[in-house]
Amino acid sequence: DLLVGFNRMFRAPVCAEDAAGPRARRPPLRMLGLRRRQDASYFAVRLPWDWQLWGLDPGARGLDYRQESFFRGLGRRDGDGDGDGDGAPAKLIVCQPTPPVAFGRVVADRHALRDLIDLGLPAPFLAADARRVDGHPAPSPAELPRALPDGHCRLDLAGDMHYYARFAAADAPPGAATTGDYACVVSGGGGAFHHPSFTDFGDLPARATFPTPAASRRAVADRLFRPWTVFNGGTVNVAAFLVAVVLCAGSLWSGTRTVTDWLFLALGVRGERGLGGGATAALPPAAWPSLGGAAVFLGSIVAAVILVLAAVRYARWVNRMLHTPRRRWTWTMRALRSLPVDRIFEERGYLPSWLLVLIAAALPPLAPQLADALVGGAPSGAAMLFQAVFLSVLFGLGLALVPFAVGSGGEYHRPTERGVFVVLGVGHTAFQLLLPLVMVRVGVGAPIGLAAALVVEAMLVTVGWHLLRRGGPGARWPALAVWLGHGPLLIAILLLAGHGTLARPSTVAGTIAVVLAAGALGSVLGCVEYGWYLGVASGWNGHNNEAGATSRLERFRQFIRFRLERDRLTGYVIAVDEPGTDPTTVAPRVVDV
């Protein structure tokens, strides 16, 4: 988790242990007998019988040249444990923040593979024709050897994923009792919550897993399909409440209802009538120009944010390049430095960033003038602000949830495998936007239809729960079909019961009540839909981190005790299914050796 607090907790302070630190602050972790001696975030430890333990800190872009020099220096001094300094240690434990293999797939990115090349370490977990998660080929065996040299042994040990798994080399015979001279171990069972262990791509099968995929699947399904689990998280319920309130209020106000009326017409709505009864009236004609001023204002804010982000990204890139040895410069930096004006990337390297920030600061104040020129004027400040908020919620949710599905849901999928997550993202956006809005605007005028829709929702959620608990490739397609079909089915039930008409409150008190009802219903329904969405995505090996964080399972803890011998390293994986504070009820057991 980015080693938050590492420097404060473990690195040697700049002052004495018993002296005040910078700004008259004492070191944050002062305990009797504790002496902090580590002067960097990476380290190497010499263990008995010529074993070595390396702790790497690659960050987001791989090892910097200082770490590379440090570890390569260890190899030059005594590389393979025989004193001749001709390579990497013969008996090595490599600790990394993120494992190179997890969920049955090689997840090491190009920076991690480049680190192995720079350190002179083979990659036994890679097949000869392996491809990275981003779809590009991994380095060739000539550039990055696969097999360990004869007489060498290595353990790659990491956490990050909150479960336990052990993987052997890519060319190891299946079903072997031991992993031979190489093993990659994911030992994250002490994390804040449990990551589903049933996520499995099958590229590199795990030799051992804790908990078992079946046990993990049942536990996660039981949590995701309980609405109060998601509700008690405190984020989805608030966000869903605000989205439903803004959309319902916008569907009732003349300055914004043009968009929602267009959606209602597309769904088959024929008109609206008052809550107290009366004749059905046609929906008012569209007034798209009324939203022009808000669209210009919102567009200026979005453009300003993009410019600021571009300025920050450019400044960080220049700073990183100027502090990197020339041999590791990117081709872009080499091309820029070949220009006659190359000194602008030294003393004045950040000038383009400042220009972008100044342009960004000028855009929002110029929005009224831009609106006059483009759409013939803008509404009052309060009206334009609500219109901007309404448009942000309506379109921003889709712009957020679809990339969320593809990026986070398909994090460990190759680009050609992410199509299903586009479908999941579009469906999730539509259900979060439309279902609470339609249930309130149509359902309050047809309570029987609303009750029927809620009953059908509960029944289909139960079906989705059973499908996730069953799991396997045979359940993912039915689970996806049920989830995609439930939204149109609920809307059809509501429109049939309400005769295709919207209910419109006729008083201010009625309007407030309808808007608050939409918020309350949206808060609960949003949690149901989000948990269901994660359950379906989990069946497609997606959203592993989000499913774990939402489930918040504090079960399935484990740790490893290692026995170090001259020619052998043995790990005893000790697990606890149900941790607790009463020692008599805790039952630790060995789940893998």
pLDDT for 586: 87
Where would I find the H helices in 28-80?
A: 65-78
CA distance 434 to 562: 54
Find out whether 150 and 125 touch, Cβ atoms under 8 Å: no
**DSSP notation for 435-447:** HHHHHHHHHTT-H
Helix-strand-coil split of the chain, %, nearest 5: 50, 15, 35
Q: Which of 251, 245, 280 is nearest to 264 (CA)?
A: 251
pTM for this prediction: 0.83
| Phi, psi (degrees; rounded to nearest 5) at 254 | -65, -25
Q: Which amino acid is at 288?
A: W
pLDDT (tens digit, 0 to 9) for every residue of the chain, 593 residues total?
444 466 666 777 666 666 666 665 655 566 777 777 777 888 899 999 999 999 998 887 888 888 888 888 876 555 444 444 456 889 999 999 899 999 999 999 999 999 999 899 999 999 988 889 888 899 999 999 999 998 899 999 998 899 999 999 988 877 665 667 999 999 988 888 999 999 999 999 999 999 999 999 999 999 999 988 898 887 888 899 989 988 888 888 877 788 888 888 888 888 888 877 667 777 777 666 666 666 777 777 788 888 888 888 888 877 777 777 777 777 777 776 676 655 555 545 566 777 788 887 777 766 665 565 555 555 556 666 777 777 888 888 878 999 999 999 999 999 999 999 999 999 999 999 999 999 998 988 889 999 999 999 999 999 999 999 998 778 999 999 999 999 999 999 999 998 888 888 888 888 888 889 999 999 999 999 999 999 999 999 999 999 999 999 988 999 999 999 998 999 999 999 988 888 888 889 999 99
Assign residue 303 a region (left: φ > 0; alpha: ψ between -120 and 50; beta: otherwise). Answer: alpha
Single out the residue of 454, 507, 438, 488 nearest to residue 244, CA to CA.
Answer: 438
- Domain residue ranges in the chain: 40-211, 223-245+263-279+395-547
pLDDT at residue 282 in the model: 75
Q: Are 108 and 121 in contact (CB under 8 A)?
A: no
Q: What DSSP line would sit under 527-578, residue for residue?
A: HHHHHHHHHHHHHTT--HHHHHHHHT----EEEEEEEE-SS-EEEEEEEESS
Alpha carbon distance 356, 366 (integer Å): 16
The set of residues, in sequence order, having a beta carbon less than 8 Å from that of 216 and lying 6+ positions away, is: 163, 194, 196, 197, 198, 556
pLDDT of amino acid 376: 56
Q: Which residue has the tokens 């920076």?
A: 111
Q: Which residue has the tokens 């199509």?
A: 419
Q: What DSSP element (H or E) covers 156?
A: strand 153-158
The amino acid that residue 583 corresponds to is P
